Structure 1
């Protein structure tokens, strides 16, 4: 074992010197339970958006009878004619059972799926986990939401977690927004982190952003975390009338 370890270290050093390649094994806090959150984004045909929301509002109870809906939003800025929703599952077995039950539910299929699918252009889903240091937040009152998606360098929360956690907590503790959750991707686009925030209004968010840029605490914390960042996308979300998160 010792000889093998020395051999691996020598090969690693050679690759690093010759090709600039460097790999490391990272350890850290991992997911401690089976709960996960499925992110779903539907792109709706522009002429069908109103009909889609009306149909979903009238029939969403058939879907929520099977598993927990965390929130359902329309995308106001950052993806026109899109809806975004988050579903919570206790396990992959539970998700499979829910999908089977829905496929056999004639009322759900007849009243909703058969009428909804022709309204869509495309669908995208991914499985995410809450980062170990975060729990789902509860907004104090109704508002608008922002979904910020960060494309991180490979390695997972054990690599970028401490710096990212410091930046998020500094932001949240400054009182500029209410943190709902920080999620990292498991299936879908890998090495992504989603931060879901709630604001009183879009104007309140804009004011907060101006203040953040002048807050030395936030600027310093963000400066530490951006070394792990490759790209970022922001979406302004409006909760639907039936969304549990308002």
Structure 2
């Protein structure tokens, strides 16, 4: 039996509610650009050798794709290296990974040497949130990576409150916002926020002022209703890091 379609044109079509959260999946994917966030746990006795080896040979790797930054943890963790890589699309990343695996000089001079130095590797794929562009520091300094594990439900649940808390800090200049990354592959509902400060002491002073700022306190109180946990690391940029 066929359905009567004679009046189909007079029937109302499906309606779609507008996406209210600027954190929504659509805008992120429309942009296309993805960021790979890598964390290496280095054996304590091998940290200096690891740093020296990467410093000497990293140009072989950056010949294949763009590095955003490379840091070592100073506070909040020990013997960790954290780095961010930028790709235009997933297909671009796949092509780069294939080229890197075939690069005999990179594999021989660096990868085969540093792998025994590592205890563990972790990788996440993330988007910059739609309301954030990648920033740059005014001069060399230190970085703070704050990782928030939000409650399940995604940005439609917690996105606006989270943005308000970040904006409250950034608008007063307590630290300079570099980027807000929302994980797409890895532990879901995770947001990494990267800040720049001139020094650890200026970061401490900014944090002190933020805790006395009524606007910041109110925004944070609203946001933490959706928070499961958070942690931070103070990061020192490597000599070759584009973000210093």
Q: Same fold (TM over 0.5)?
A: yes
Asked if the contact 1:131–1:157 (Cα under 8 Å) also holds between the matched residues in 2, the reply is no
CA-to-aligned-CA distance 1:208-238 (integer Å, 9 cap, x gap): 1111111101101111111111100011100
Output the CA distance in 2 between the equivalents of 1:53 and 1:177.
27
What is the match of residue 13 of structure 1? none
Is 1:72–1:85's contact at 8 Å kept on the other side of the alignment?
Answer: yes
1:179-198 deviation digits (Å, cap 9, x = unpaired): 00111111111110111000
For each residue in 1:65-89, what CA deviation from the matched residue of structure 2 results, as whole angstroms up to 9, or x when unmatched? 1111000000011221010000011
Q: Secondary structure at the match of 2:31?
A: coil
Out of 121, 140, 146, the residue aligned to residue 148 of structure 1 is: 146
Establish whether residue 229 from structure 1 lines up as the match of residue 227 from structure 2: yes
In 1, the alpha carbon distance for the partners of 2:144 and 2:53 equals 25
Once the two structures are superposed, what CA deviation does each residue of 1:7-27 show, in whole Å capped at 9, x if it has no partner?
xxxxxxxxxxxxxxxxxxx86
Cα distance in 2 between the residues matched to 1:139 and 1:224: 29
State the SS of the aligned residue for 2:136.
coil
Task: Look up the match of 1:71.
Answer: 69
**Structure 2: stretches of 5+ with no match in the other structure:** 1-18
Q: Helix, strand or coil for the counterpart of 1:237?
A: strand
State the match for 1:45 in structure 2. 43
Offset, 1:138? 1.2
**Distance across 2 between alignment mates of 1:93 and 1:209:** 40
Report 1:1-246 matches (<5 A). Answer: 28=21, 29=24, 30=26, 31=28, 32-246=30-244
Q: How many residues align?
A: 221
Unaligned runs of 5+ in 1: 1-25
Deviates more, 1:149-158 or 1:41-50: 149-158
Give the 3-state SS of the residue equivalent to 1:71 in structure 2. strand
Distance across 2 between alignment mates of 1:35 and 1:158: 21
Mapped partners of 2:205, 2:105: distance in 1 = 46
Segment of structure 1 superposing worse, 194-203 or 158-167 = 158-167
- Over residues 116-139 of structure 1, what are the superposed CA-to-partner deviations in whole Å (9 max), with x where a residue is unaligned? 101111100000111111110111
Q: CA deviation at 1:46?
A: 0.7
Shift of 1:157: 2.1
